């Protein structure tokens, strides 16, 4: 019987396009033990879980499936946290696997922030929305060749280690009719593709000393 942990491990491994052996090598685990985690109920120690989360580009909190109705950041900070500035290359590496990010823009009804499922495509960020929705109407200027600038933020927080990172992308949003296979969790008729072309990418990482 596969556990929730096993399903999350397999999901992140397949999301990255990695084999069991490749993840095991990254996490310094025996391939057989990793297969056991994916296929049967197992309870790895925190050190193993942290190495596995790092190898999969996620967090121990995510792999454990801690309650999603509880806000993150409730745990106290580490004794001596250190804030590091991330290079553009590191920022791109962190957000490249895709997932959920937040789009921020000045909408017709005021400042707006919307979570979306996104994919990276040839250096751009792509997500899908509905025709006639806020990100269709609010982001159209009505002037050909002139696009609205938006913000796009992705972050990960691991309360077990008191560490995390945040990446902010800024750039114009272009409407498109085609794009990569990105499937919104919200479902519905979301056939309008929005493509953000990064003009500025910045990021920060919190490291527990």
Mean pLDDT over each residue of the chain, to the nearest integer: 87
**What's the pLDDT at 66?**
63
pLDDT tens figures, 80-112:
889 999 999 999 999 998 999 999 999 888 999
**Does the structure show a pLDDT above 90 at 209?**
no
**What's the pLDDT at 3?**
73
The whole-number average pLDDT for the span 35-61 is 85
- What CATH code is assigned to 4-64? 1.10.260.40
- What CATH code is assigned to 81-208? 2.30.110.10
**What's the pLDDT at 96?**
93
Are domains 4-64 and 81-208 of this chain identical in fold?
A: no
pLDDT class of 131 with cuts at 50, 70, 90? very high
**What's the pLDDT at 170?**
97
* 3-class SS letters over 165-189: EEEEEEEEEEEECCCCCCCCCCCCC
Checking DSSP bridges between strand 200-208 and strand 149-158, what pairing results, if any? unpaired
Segments making up each domain of the chain, as ranges: 4-64, 81-208
**What's the pLDDT at 135?**
87
Decide: 63 and 41 in contact? Cβ < 8 Å. Answer: no
pLDDT class of 39 with cuts at 50, 70, 90? confident
């Amino acid at each position: 019987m596969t556990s929730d942990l096993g399903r999350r491990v397999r999901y992140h491994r397949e999301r990255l396009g990695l084999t069991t052996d490749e993840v095991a090598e990254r996490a310094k685990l025996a391939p057989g033990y990793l297969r056991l985690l994916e296929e049967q109920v197992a309870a790895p120690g925190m050190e193993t879980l942290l190495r596995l989360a790092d190898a999969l580009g996620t967090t121990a909190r995510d792999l454990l499936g801690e309650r999603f109705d509880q806000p993150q950041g409730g745990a106290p900070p580490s004794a001596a946290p250190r804030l590091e500035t991330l290079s553009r290359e590191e920022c791109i590496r962190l957000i490249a696997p895709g997932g959920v990010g937040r789009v921020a823009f000045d909408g017709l009804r005021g400042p707006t922030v919307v979570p979306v499922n996104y994919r990276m495509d040839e250096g751009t960020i792509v997500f899908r929305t509905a025709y006639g929705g806020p990100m269709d109407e609010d982001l159209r200027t009505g002037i050909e060749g002139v696009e609205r600038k938006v913000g796009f933020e992705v972050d990960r927080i691991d309360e077990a280690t008191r560490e995390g990172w945040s990446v902010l992308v800024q750039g114009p949003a272009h409407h498109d009719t085609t794009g990569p296979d990105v499937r919104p969790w919200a479902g519905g008729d979301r056939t309008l593709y929005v493509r953000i072309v990064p003009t500025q990418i910045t990021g920060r990482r919190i490291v527990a000393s």
